[in-house]
Structure formats: structure tokens, C-alpha cells
Structure 1
Amino acid sequence: MPTDTKPKTARAKKVSPPKAGAAPNALQKPLKPSSELAVVVGAEPLPRGEVVSKVWTYIKKNNLQNPDNKREIVADEALKKVFGKDRVTMFEMNKHLANHLK
């Protein structure tokens, strides 16, 4: 019986960038924001990751995180139109953003 003393480690999968001419995947595909979301991120089509990044920049710039619970976002007038309510968690945010991207 072989006695292997080295612990087995999981190998990270290498993700290669899309090949030239290949269609972008769902996260890379530019999507047009709704008029409500465009107030926050701009009207140009953007990939989902960039939309989320711009929303977080907006949240931090306008100090919209609950100081007692940084995972909670206290919406201003612009974000209330996107989220549909006064407060959302950072985990809920993506669900609301998806409703404003076509």
C-alpha cells in the first residue's frame, strides 16, 4: 500500500479569455440599462459586472451603506426607483439590477 504523505490540493481551473470573434458569455455581453438605472450608471450598454461595479461606486460615493450593517444599502431617490424599496441587502441588489437590464 503506497503511503502518500503529501496532502492533495485542489487545482484552480484556468479560465481563458474569449477567442477573437467569439460571442461574449452572459456576464460579458453588454446590456442596455433601463431609464431608472441609467441615472446611476449611464445610458450606454454595459456588461453586468461593470453595472454592479458602477452601482457600488455610486453607493460608496453617496455614503448609502448602513453604518451599522455594511451589507445593507439605504436607497436614495435614484436607487429607490431601481430597487423598488428603501433598503436592500447587497445580496438582493443583483436581483433588482437584473430587472433593469435588457
Structure 2
Amino acid sequence: MARVLGGCRALMAAAKAGAKVEAPAPKAAAKTKNFGILKPLPVSPAMERFVGASEISRTGAIQKIWEHIKLNQLQNPSDKREIRCDAKLKSLFGGRDKVGMLEITKLISPHFLKPN
């Protein structure tokens, strides 16, 4: 018990004295592979025209869709959960005039092709 408290007291004394206690060096960033919704997948021609890339992750596609919605002010002002679709969004959402914000992920699912 004394060893634990003694070590703690030494750290506290160094901090009070103004001595700089260095944090451990960060580990080298390992190469991470993108899995799940972060993995870029090939997309349908309609999605490719919308996002401008032949492969994109699901989260990237959602971000592009929301950028388009905000830029063109397509949210219903009285109900922000409702999105009024313009011609570009209609091509993605099966020709629907209005969609709910929670439906977007379900509606873009068919646009992501399974890799061979």
C-alpha cells in the first residue's frame, strides 16, 4: 500500500513543483482497414452520378446526400424530419416526392453493389 501511495505522492510533488511530466509516446498508427459502413463499395450508375465516384462508403454517401439537402434547403421547414426530393434525389429514392430522414439509409441500400 505504501508503494502505491508513495508513487502517487511523487507524481503530485513533481506536478506542484512545476516539473513537466511527459505523457507516454503515442503508438505508431497501424494501417487500419475499413470494414462495414466505412468500406468503400461499388455503386449504381445513379449513385455514381450523384456522388461523382464509382466507389464510396455508406457514410460518405449519406454525408453527400445531407450536403445536397442542406445546400438546396430541401427539408420541410415545418417538419425538419421530412425531406422534399428534387430531381437528383428522386433518382436515388425511387421517384418519391418526400422521404423521412430515417428512411434515407434504407432507400440508398440498393445502390450499393456487392463486390465480386
**Do both share a fold (TM > 0.5)?**
yes
SS in 2 for 1:40: helix
Equivalent residue for 2:107, pick from 69, 89, 96: 96
Equivalent residue for 2:66, pick from 44, 50, 56: 56
Shift of 1:35: 1.6
Q: Distance in 1 between matches of 2:93 and 2:53?
A: 18
Residues 29-61 of structure 1 deviation map (CA, whole Å, 9 limit, x = unaligned): 101221212232112311111110011001111
Q: Does 1:67 align with 2:71?
A: no
Amino acid at match of 1:65: Q
Contact 1:32 1:44 in 2 (8 A): yes
* Aligned pairs for 1:1-102 within 5 A: 19-20=30-31, 23-84=33-94, 85-102=96-113
What's the TM-score, normalizing by structure 2?
0.65
SS in 2 for 1:96: helix
Identity across the alignment (%): 39
Contact 1:39 1:78 in 2 (8 A): no
What's the RMSD between the two structures over aligned residues? 1.7
Instruction: Give the aligned length.
Output: 84
Contact 1:35 1:43 in 2 (8 A): no
What's the TM-score, normalizing by structure 1?
0.73
Residues 71-91 of structure 1 deviation map (CA, whole Å, 9 limit, x = unaligned): 111001111111111110010
Unaligned runs of 5+ residues in structure 2 are: 1-29
Unaligned runs of 5+ residues in structure 1 are: 1-18
Rg (Cα) greater in structure: 2
Aligned to 1:15: none
